[in-house]
Amino acid sequence: MAGADRSRRLSEGTVVQGSVRARLLGLPLLRLEATFALMPAAISPSPSPLGAGKGLADAVRCINDGADVLAGVQRNNGH
């Protein structure tokens, strides 16, 4: 877990900007631009050494639910 480190100054952080552009046969398909602000943080250890817990179980359940929805859509569309 990370939280704001109040013992450090925000000026010790940085800003990262990036962009991605994708083209196919000269035609633009995708354009992403992002700006991230990285700030000093205080890191605390995870309660579980493997990070496995209720959050992981919820994530697995959501992925499985999404797979079921996708399979249903594909069935209904004749794929």
Average pLDDT for the chain: 80
Of 73, 2, 69, the closest CA to residue 38 belongs to 2
Mean pLDDT of 12-17: 85
| C-alpha to C-alpha distance for 60 and 67, rounded to whole angstroms | 11
Mean pLDDT of 42-66: 73
- Res 47: pLDDT: 63
Q: Is the pLDDT at 29 greater than 90, yes or no? A: yes
| pTM over the 0.75 mark | no
- Res 48: pLDDT: 58
List, in sequence order, every residue forming a beta bridge with 67; answer none if it has no partner.
none
Q: Enumerate the domain spans of the chain.
A: 1-44, 50-79
